[in-house]
Structure formats: structure tokens, C-alpha cells
Amino acid sequence: MKKIFLCFSVVSLFLFSCRQKETADKIFFNSKIWTGDSSQPWAEAIAIKGNKIIYIGKDFQQFKGSNTETVDLNGKLLVPGFIDNHTHFLGGGYNLASVNLRAAKTPLEFISILKIYCQQNKDDRWIQGGDWDHEAWGGELPTKEWIDSVTGDHPVFVNRYDGHMAFANSKALTLAGINKNTPVPPGGEIIKTKDGELTGVLKDEAMGLVYKVIHDPSKEELDECLQRAIQHAFENGVTQVHDMGSYGGWIDMDTYRRNYENKKLDIRIYSFVAISTWKKLDSFCKKNDKGDDMFRWGGVKGFVDGSLGSTTAWFYQPYLDAPNTSGLYVTDTTDLHNWILAADSAGLHVAVHAIGDRANDFLLNIFEEAEKRNAKDHRFRIEHAQHLTQAAITRFAQLNAIPSMQPYHAIDDGKWAYKRLDDARLKGTYAFKSLLDTKAMLTFGSDWPVAPLKPLEGIYAAVTRRTLDDKNPGGWYPEQKISVEQALKCYTTNNAYAGFQENKVGVLKPGMLADFIVLDQNILEIAPEKIKEVKVLRTIVNGKQVYERK
């Protein structure tokens, strides 16, 4: 017995001495570190070697060698890197260099911004982007007569910020072959005047009539979009994005893979493709597996309905301000049902957009069916999950379905949602606290470029629920406010789980990948109203500092 004990002691001493000899490449110290790890929630220093964390705690000197770089953070807050659960990443990068109509507060400003942009861009290329919001000037939809005289030979097709409604000038309508007699595609709507004339506004699947005549960007243009998007993400502390596609998913994925192979992909990306192409993805995964820690694939994204702002979200009851409709489903329900079950059976990760209460119930029913067929670790995701019945709120945790939500939408939609929905339905809108109370794995993101790629503004939104018009200083449906720490988890640990990476990222502890950020203020101590003013000082991805605020 003594010999066994002696051998054990020698081995332990050897292992300890090896650990003592391990030196860090870089150590960040004199910090307040929120780790996200319940077993060690706070620390003062973090040591990294290569792309991994080797130590987190207080006594870092043992990991300091002659070549170790040390960084004194002067008491600043350090947290895990933000993961954004829902982006259209290349589209966001495109929009950074295109016309921005989000600032237009009147029809005249809308027209003026487009006029100036057209004058500054003399060629006849398509003008896209936009992100306009008609609710900013009272709800009147634009008409092609507003802009035909100022856009010249430019074909214009600019989307509402939610991406479920877009606006074309006469040039664009002509190129697309759309006239007042054009059949309306299933799942779409062509807005006309009382006299039956085109206004230029198209909703959901009808938008495809124009998109099909617009050429996709070149590889070079896509690469530029990606690099703009990456830099923008780093400036805002985003170290990983779950990308739902901007160009159908496959063009996006090819762009990421090309940049990855050329060593130009410094951000982590989890790429989803259209669920209608699940067979193609299944075949691709069998030949190429599902990627690595930097660039992964294997997820499919589908749609049930449209959006609240475009009155195309699918509800049980009609809209208050559009009593002739309760929204619509944008994908054939039989097809979507079959695709979800087939993709899940093939081992693909299923994420589906649902806004209205009926759309969410429709999805939860399918997820329950899949669970009964095969009780594996599905981690089904409902993207947005904005308007839920009280019964639906309890089903997420029961089914281990993930509400993949974007909190900035709450303070944006909250300005005008009362026009569309009654109080009974609004009580289940952006139900963050209710979902957490039922132990649902709530996750957060932006839906960029629909909303800003700024997690700190998302945390502000979830914690305060102050609408952007300042009319709800105490919070819009304040009973759904959550704590800063809960919101942080939704942007870090919970998002890691939603991407099957909880053993890789999302918390700061030895063995995990070194993704973290440094903030100029402690968001866990300052007044919640100040959180949106906080700046990112440093962003570290895979052990490499990729951004420092000057």
C-alpha cells in the first residue's frame, strides 16, 4: 500500500511540476473578469497559450515566462466574447457601403437621401439596402411616384428594415416584368392603389420577383462585404456569429470557406443554409463533415411566416389595423413540416423563423412530433419567437427547444406594436423573463442588418425595455425585464449551447478557446440606462487580439 501511495505521490508531483513549467503567451491582469462559469464566477487575471485559456484566477505569476506578454487592464471588465445568434452577415457587410434610409423620419427625408445617393453614384447599378421604416413617419407606405423623378436610370429595390417588405421604383418593376396583372406568388403580396395600380411595395415571397433579376455580387464584392462585416463585428465585441444567410446560404457558405482557406476568416462563423436544400447539405456533410471551431456548417434555416411590421406574421386573430388579415405563412406548411422532420433525421440542426403566435405553435407541434419519433439532442431553434401564447412559453423548456431572440426588436417594435395587436397578445411579446422562469435556454442576437450588430444595445434593451421613442421609461411590459447577468449569459454561454459549442466557447476557464472582450465600463455595476453607451476596448478571438479601440 505504501508503494502505491509513493508512486501516486511521485506522479502527482511530476504532473504538478509540468503544470508549473507551462508558460503563457499572454496574460491579462488587474481586471474584473466575469467568467460565465458558475463554479468560479469572478477572477482577476487570465492567461492564454496559443488559442486556449490555461489559467484564470488571481495568482498568475506562475504562468509568466521571460517571453510572456502582460497586459494591465487597469480594473476594466473582461467578459466572454459575444456570440450573435442570428445575423445575415454578408448582407450586413453589403449594407455598410450602401444607401441607409433608416434615419429617414419623413417622406421628404426618404426621398432626399435616395436622391443624394443616386447623384453620388452615377452608374446604373442596382441600388439596394435601405432599411427604411414607414412607421417612423406615421405608417404610410412609400409609392414609386415618390422617387421615380430622383432615381433616374438607377433600378431601385430597397428593403424595409425587417427584410419582409421591399420597395421598387418603376425602372426596377419594368426590369422584373411586373405589372398590375402579375400573379401574386404564394406567401407574398403585391401592394396596389385603390385603382389597382402598382405602388412598388412587395411583401415576402413577392419580393423574389425582383430579386431574381438582380445579379448576385461577384466573389470579390462578397469578400469585401465579409471583411467589412468582420471589422464591424470586432468593434462591437462580437467574436462569433450564427449566420442565417443573405444569398440563400450556399453563396454565403462558399464565401466563408474561400476566406477561411485563404486565412482571412478571423471570426467564428456557424453557417446555415435554406432548409429546402437539406438534401444537398446532408450530402455535403457526409463528404466534408461539419467544419471546425472557426468555421462550421450543418444547420438549416426555414421560414413559417413574415413579420409584424409588414403585417405578414401569422396570428390566430386578425391585426387591429388590418382586420382583413391575420398574416400569412410564407412556406407551404406541408413542405416545411416534411423538411423539418427529414433534416432532423439526417442529423442536421434545424432553425426556423416564426414571429406570430400561430406560427410559433405550428413549429412547436412539429418539434414535439420529432421528439416523439427520436428523443435525441435536437436543440431545435425558433428564430425570433416574438409573440407567444402563455401555453407556448412553457413548451420551450419541455421540448428543449431554443427561443433564439433579438432583444433590440422589442424596444423598436414597442413604439408601434399596439397598433397591430391587443394587450392580450402583447403580454406574450418578447417574453424574456417568462421564458427564463420556465428554464428555457433563451439566447440573444441582433438579426443584423435588421437591427444593429451591437450586443451592448441588445443587453440594454433586454434589461430596460425602454422603447426607442422614449415613451416607456419604465419599460415596455416591464414584467419581462431581465438582469444584466441573465442577458450576458444569453449572449455568451447560452448561445454557445445553441450552437453545440458549450465545451469550446461561452465561458472563461482553462481548456476553453480564448475568446473574450474588454469593456470601458462595468455593465454589472453601472445604471442599466447607461449600458448602451459602453464601448468595447479590446476584442480577442482564438487567442489573437483582433481589435483595440484607439
Question: Average pLDDT of 456-476?
Answer: 97
| Residue corresponding to grid cell 385603382 | 195
Instruction: State whether residue 177 is helix, strand or coil.
Output: coil
146-160, 219-233, 465-479: segment of lowest average pLDDT: 146-160
* pLDDT, tens digit, 9 for 90 and up, residues 320-373: 999 999 999 999 999 999 999 999 999 999 999 999 999 999 999 999 999 999
Q: What is the pLDDT of residue 20?
A: 54
Question: Average pLDDT of 9-35?
Answer: 75
| Residue corresponding to grid cell 413604439 | 415
CA dihedral 218, 221, 223, 227 (to 10 degrees): -160
Backbone angles phi, psi at 510, to 5 degrees: -55, 135
Domains and CATH numbers, the chain: 98-211 (3.10.310.70)
Q: What is the pLDDT of residue 271?
A: 99
* pLDDT, tens digit, 9 for 90 and up, residues 334-347: 999 999 999 999 99
DSSP code string of 222-275? HHHHHHHHHHHHHHTTEEEEEE--SSTTHHHHHHHHHHHHTT---SEEEEEEEG
Instruction: State whether residue 189 is helix, strand or coil.
Output: strand
**% pLDDT > 70, the chain:** 96
How are the residues of the chain apportioned to helix, strand and coil, as percentages rounded to the nearest 5? 35, 20, 40
Q: Specify the DSSP element, H or E, that contains 300.
A: strand 295-303
Q: What is the pLDDT of residue 18?
A: 47
Q: What is the pLDDT of residue 163?
A: 83
Question: Average pLDDT of 528-536?
Answer: 98
Q: What is the pLDDT of residue 216?
A: 84
The three cell numbers locating residue 426: 402583447
Give the pLDDT band of residue 506 (cuts 50, 70, 90): very high
Q: What is the pLDDT of residue 21?
A: 57
Residue of higher predicted confidence among 20 and 485: 485
Q: What is the pLDDT of residue 508?
A: 99
Judged against a pLDDT cut of 90, whether residue 4 lies above it is answered with no
Question: Average pLDDT of 270-286?
Answer: 98
The pTM is what? 0.90
**Alpha-carbon span 349 to 234, nearest angstrom:** 26
* pLDDT, tens digit, 9 for 90 and up, residues 90-135: 999 999 989 989 889 999 999 999 999 988 887 778 999 888 999 8
**Alpha-carbon span 153 to 80, nearest angstrom:** 49
Mean pLDDT rounded to a whole number for the chain = 94
211-220, 317-326, 502-511, 519-528: segment of lowest average pLDDT: 211-220
Q: Is the peptide bond before 449 cis (omega within 30 degrees of 0)?
A: yes
**% pLDDT > 90, the chain:** 88
**Alpha-carbon span 234 to 239, nearest angstrom:** 7
Question: Average pLDDT of 272-281?
Answer: 98
45-49, 139-143, 352-356: segment of lowest average pLDDT: 139-143
* pLDDT, tens digit, 9 for 90 and up, residues 420-450: 999 999 999 999 999 999 999 999 999 999 9
Judged against a pLDDT cut of 60, whether residue 37 lies above it is answered with yes
Question: Average pLDDT of 22-49?
Answer: 98
**Alpha-carbon span 550 to 531, nearest angstrom:** 20
| Residue corresponding to grid cell 466574447 | 81
**Alpha-carbon span 30 to 32, nearest angstrom:** 7
10-14, 160-164, 453-457: segment of lowest average pLDDT: 10-14
